[in-house]
Amino acid sequence: KSYIGYDDKGYLWCEELKVVDVLKNVGTSPFFLYSKAQLESNFQAYVEATKGMDAIIGYAIKANNNLNLLRILANRGSGAVLVSGGELLLAEKAGFDLQKTVLNGNGKTMEEISLAVTKGCLINVDSEFDLEHIIQASRQVGRKARVLIRINPDIDPQVHPYVSTGLANSKFGIRNTHLEWFLNRIKQESSFLDLVGVHCHLGSTIKQVKIFKDAATIMLEFVSIIRNAGFHHLQFLNIGGGLGIDYERQGDVIPTPEELVASIRDKVKEAKLTLIIEPGRSIAGNTGVLISRVIGVKSNGNKEFIVIDGSMSEVIRPSLYDAFHWIGLIAPSSGELSKFDVVGPICESADFLGKDRMLPRPEEGSGIVVMDAGAYCYAMASNYNMRPKPAEILVDGKQWKCIRRRETFEDMLMLYDQK
């Protein structure tokens, strides 16, 4: 179900609020607008999908780290996937059960690892040096580290190379031919390490269930090898995140969490494993949109541009990955349809939100929506061009509230040595 969408007159709604009214009341733009019901319903889809099996749904905090949204997920029993000490501290603050969190990363620092060992997080082993660092940290902390080995299954997720992570030439995970070395080393240090599982993550924006199914099959072979090597209690199969969402808004083209989990459920249960799944985008992505205002419309002879106050500093995905986000007006318009590039005010040609979009010619000041901006948008926002990071607004039924205020010039100034 979709909680952000148009009525038949052409007004955009977020739950029970007309977005034009929210824009009027918020005052400043651009801002991110989120639907609480959408977030809950996306999480619930994973809960339903994993019913009847042992599972941890580890929301990938990197996708959207708004503390308010994190609290909603933590309250519903979500686990979390962390990629830095900052995310770990934030997860703790949001109230996640840290036993259900996984620290991941190819370049964890000693401080981050020590923190994770102290707090009892699961830790993914990414390389030889990473394993040595984990051993050192657990020695220092005086507590056993619970580790999973991140194995590179060498599967092509058929997505943009920048969001592909499980191929043999990826910087993540261990070479699967090198597993024995890791098992021996972990055995030697068994007073500091508890090997509890295996992990893989193939990539992001994945559109076929078969890719997860193939990965699970390969990973289960590694589970057998590891158990046969004496680690009989290996408990977790972590298949990572990566399920795509329908950015193109074409309808049922993306598998549901239910379909994803159903494709591996029997095998995982048979192997008496607890499944860990790490969704980010498929929980947060369609939960939020970017609302901007039109600054003006111009033509350069060849092309027409809608210039909005939103930009690549709020939504960098089109510039960085050539990603598509659906763009529209937030209210009906009688303007004639024409082909536009929708661009921001940043001094750089890469600053576009969408190219060659058929849209009604908008009035200055009218509202524009960039859809599906709940994941990897605010989280990747920058102050490029000295732009303050935008506000984040949460809608719950007929109510809205600001869940992160817009940055001010003073906020940015505070970081300088002003002497």
- Token reading at 86: 């900052």
Q: Does 281 bind ligand LLP (CB under 6 A)?
A: yes
Size of the site for ligand LLP (CB under 6 A): 22
For ligand LLP, give the closer residue by CB, 63 or 330. Answer: 63
DSSP 148-181: EEEB-------S-GGGB-SSTT-SSSB-GGGHHH
Please state the three-class secondary structure of 45-112 as a single string.
Answer: HHHHHCCCCCEEEEEEHHHCCCHHHHHHHHHCCCEEEECCHHHHHHHHHHCCCHHHEEECCCCCCHHH
Q: What is the dihedral of CA 334, 337, 340, 346, to 10 degrees?
A: 0
For ligand LLP, give the closer residue by CB, 60 or 98. Answer: 60
Instruction: Give the x-and-dash track for 14-53 against ligand LLP (CB under 6 A).
Output: ----------------------------------------
Q: SS3 for 286?
A: helix
Contact 144, 123 (CB under 8 A): no
For ligand LLP, give the closer residue by CB, 201 or 404. Answer: 201
For ligand LLP, give the closer residue by CB, 69 or 359. Answer: 69
**What Cα–Cα distance (Å) separates residue 219 from each residue in 34, 181, 377?**
36, 17, 31
Distance between CA atoms of residues 374 and 371, nearest Å: 8
Q: Does 204 bind ligand LLP (CB under 6 A)?
A: yes
For ligand LLP, give the closer residue by CB, 41 or 140. Answer: 41
For ligand LLP, give the closer residue by CB, 29 or 64. Answer: 64
Cα-based angle 219, 220, 224 (whole degrees, multiple of 5): 120
Distance between CA atoms of residues 13 and 6, nearest Å: 6
In the complex, least distance from residue 53 CB atom to ligand LLP, rounded to whole angstroms: 19
The catalytic position among 200, 347, 377, 402 is: 347
46, 182, 376, 400: residue in contact with ligand LLP (rule CB under 6 A): 376
In the complex, least distance from residue 188 CB atom to ligand LLP, rounded to whole angstroms: 27
In the complex, least distance from residue 245 CB atom to ligand LLP, rounded to whole angstroms: 9
Closest residue to ligand LLP: CB criterion: 280
In the complex, least distance from residue 318 CB atom to ligand LLP, rounded to whole angstroms: 10
Q: Does 63 bind ligand LLP (CB under 6 A)?
A: yes
Binding segment toward ligand LLP, per CB under 6 A, in 136-144, 200-208, 346-354, 411-419: 200-208
In the complex, least distance from residue 174 CB atom to ligand LLP, rounded to whole angstroms: 14
30, 197, 240, 354: residue in contact with ligand LLP (rule CB under 6 A): 240
Radius of gyration (Cα) for the chain, nearest Å? 23
* 364 burial type by CB count under 10 A (0-12 exposed, 13-18 middle, 19+ buried): exposed
Site for ligand LLP in 315-354 (CB under 6 A): 317, 321
In the complex, least distance from residue 92 CB atom to ligand LLP, rounded to whole angstroms: 19
- Token reading at 223: 């589970």
In the complex, least distance from residue 162 CB atom to ligand LLP, rounded to whole angstroms: 7
Distance between CA atoms of residues 398 and 15, nearest Å: 7
- 347 labelled catalytic: yes
Distance between CA atoms of residues 142 and 188, nearest Å: 17
Distance between CA atoms of residues 253 and 157, nearest Å: 16
**What Cα–Cα distance (Å) separates residue 270 from each residue in 4, 20, 53, 274, 275?**
40, 52, 11, 11, 12
Q: Does 278 bind ligand LLP (CB under 6 A)?
A: yes
Give the residues across from 383 on adjacent strands. none
Site for ligand LLP in 149-178 (CB under 6 A): 163, 165
Q: SS3 for 236?
A: strand
For ligand LLP, give the closer residue by CB, 63 or 261. Answer: 63
In the complex, least distance from residue 172 CB atom to ligand LLP, rounded to whole angstroms: 7
Q: Does 282 bind ligand LLP (CB under 6 A)?
A: yes
Q: Does 81 bind ligand LLP (CB under 6 A)?
A: yes
Tell which residue, 187, 267, 185, has the closest CA to residue 220. 267
Residues catalogued as catalytic: 347
Which residues of this protein are in contact with ligand LLP, per CB under 6 A?
60, 63, 81, 104, 163, 165, 201, 204-205, 240-243, 278-282, 317, 321, 375-376
